[in-house]
């Protein structure tokens, strides 16, 4: 069960307020709980506290940071069912998938605990010419200082973890704004962090809407802004000033099914189903465009449509539910409109395409014109399109014909095709023999083009939140 009310966190401490924000059960549409909303004074206090905590966090030794992260792992395991239930309610994510996200939360903090004692520098050979005899170079990594985070609704545990855990490991105080529609998971993380001996001001978690989050973007006292969300991120980058900015801004992920995949079709279809319709397609690397070799297209289409029609949709609290609601009715209505636009432009609906409230059927289309929204933009819902190709060069060109470049997938037995995909696909990552939706929390993750700048993944985030400091020593 959820608590009736949740606080926000200011300088490590729970706070209530006069203003409260409703959090809705995304399946029933009823108010599930309420969260305290900080005022402008509290936002300023949070930033000032983070600044004041800069030196104490730098002096907070790696073993102590590791102990904090290990405590979090222990408590997340103990509160696993509570975290999964909260996620199911606030995000509408099926309970089995919610439990899977708790697993990733635990794994991300575990990785950060390991990396917290590995922030090493290097020795540099400076004796590259006779005039430099006796000179030696050394580097170490030091925390940037106060950092700000803004996270989205679709992975309200794991995407928070990918910012918070590296910040602790790096020694950076932070202020976090979770998505206003899904703040509960972040607040439970805050409750656990409040149990630790982090220096005062090391963290604040503020339940703000976008209108009141400006200081987290614009305040020059922050040394880094890390944002995961929509294309509004480019505007935030402009407003951020001189601070470092990392952005993960979504995609319209494509996957190539090579001609040699006939014998592996069952596995390919199973992975396509997961990639396209897991958590109602509300993932930045959800499978959206499926390019299939002409020789196996008809067979794959027939079997994929049959498999999609068997998916169970409904109450996400039931263990056998695969497809839950979208985040709200407006999101479902938007995508339904895009599907209708594509259908009127000549696209063929193979299955699905209907909507009731925030529930949108798992939808497959083919013959979708190139310039339609479902082809060019990020659908962020339970939708995928099929298209055939005859030549591998054409498939590569079709994948690259996008303004986005987060991750792509290719199913192939050909090493040559796998290497060409890696070399030629304009993507942040290429996943061979699996879907582009594959992600492990220690790998570098991020995109190119409109998909953003920078890389997540614990070690890579720690590098973003630290800077190299050089020392040169001359023998005397």
Q: What are phi and psi of 438, to 5 degrees?
A: -70, 130
Question: 3-class SS at 426?
Answer: coil
**DSSP letter, residue 305:** H
Positions marked active-site: 248, 284
Q: Are 121 and 138 in contact (CB under 8 A)?
A: yes
| Order of strands across the sheet that contains 363-366 | 348-351, 363-366, 383-389, 289-293, 254-257, 407-411, 429-432
Query: Within its chain, how far is the Cα of 312 from the centroid?
Result: 25
**DSSP letter, residue 198:** P
- Helix 294-309, helix 265-277: angle, nearest 10: 60
> Rounded to whole angstroms, how far apart are CA atoms 138 and 124?
6
Residue 258: left if φ>0, alpha if ψ -120 to 50, beta else—which one? beta
Strand extents, DSSP E, 309-412: 348-351, 355-356, 359-360, 363-366, 383-389, 404-405, 407-411
Q: Are 146 and 221 in contact (CB under 8 A)?
A: yes
Radius of gyration over every alpha carbon of the chain, rounded to an integer in angstroms: 23
């Amino acid at each position: 069960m959820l608590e009736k009310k949740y606080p926000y966190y200011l300088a490590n401490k729970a706070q209530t307020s006069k203003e409260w924000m409703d959090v809705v059960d995304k399946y029933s549409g009823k108010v599930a709980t309420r969260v305290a909303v900080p005022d402008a004074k509290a936002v300023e206090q949070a930033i000032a506290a983070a600044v004041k905590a800069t030196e104490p966090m730098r002096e907070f030794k790696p073993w102590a940071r590791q102990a904090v992260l290990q405590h979090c792992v222990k408590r997340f395991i103990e509160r696993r069912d509570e975290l999964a239930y909260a996620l199911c309610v606030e995000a509408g994510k099926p309970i089995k998938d919610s439990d899977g996200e708790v697993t990733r939360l635990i794994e991300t903090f575990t990785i950060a605990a390991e990396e917290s004692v590995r922030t090493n520098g290097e020795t540099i050979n400076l004796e590259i010419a006779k005039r430099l005899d006796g000179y030696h170079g050394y580097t170490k990594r030091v925390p940037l200082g106060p950092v700000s985070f803004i996270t989205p609704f679709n992975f309200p545990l794991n995407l928070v973890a990918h910012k918070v855990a590296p910040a602790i490991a790096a020694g950076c105080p932070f202020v976090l704004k979770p998505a206003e529609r899904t703040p509960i998971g972040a607040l439970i993380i805050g409750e656990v962090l409040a149990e630790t001996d982090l220096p005062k001001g090391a963290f604040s978690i503020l339940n703000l809407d976008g209108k009141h989050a400006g200081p987290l973007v614009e305040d020059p006292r922050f040394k880094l802004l890390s944002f995961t969300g929509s294309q509004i991120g480019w505007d935030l980058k402009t407003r951020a000033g001189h601070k470092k900015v990392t952005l993960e801004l979504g995609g319209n992920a494509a996957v190539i099914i090579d001609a040699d995949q006939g014998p592996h079709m069952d596995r390919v279809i199973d992975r396509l189903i997961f990639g396209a319709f897991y958590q109602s397609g509300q993932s930045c690397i959800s499978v959206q465009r499926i390019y299939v070799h002409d020789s196996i297209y008809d067979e794959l289409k027939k079997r994929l449509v049959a498999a999609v029609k068997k998916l169970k949709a409904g109450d996400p609290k039931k263990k056998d539910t695969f497809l839950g609601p979208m985040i709200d009715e407006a999101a479902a209505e938007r995508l339904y409109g895009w599907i209708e636009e594509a259908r009127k432009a000549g696209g063929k609906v193979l299955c699905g395409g209907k909507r009731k409230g925030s529930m949108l059927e798992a939808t497959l289309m083919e013959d979708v014109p190139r310039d339609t929204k479902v082809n060019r933009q990020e659908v962020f819902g339970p939708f995928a399109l099929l298209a055939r190709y005859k030549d591998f060069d054409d498939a590569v060109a079709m994948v690259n014909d996008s303004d986005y470049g987060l991750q792509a997938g290719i199913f192939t037995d050909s090493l040559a095709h796998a290497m060409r995909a890696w070399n030629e696909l304009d993507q942040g990552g290429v996943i061979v023999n699996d879907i582009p939706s594959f992600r492990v929390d220690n790998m570098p993750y991020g995109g190119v083009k409109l998909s953003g700048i920078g890389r997540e993944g614990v070690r890579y985030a720690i590098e973003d939140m630290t800077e190299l400091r050089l020392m040169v020593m001359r023998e005397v």
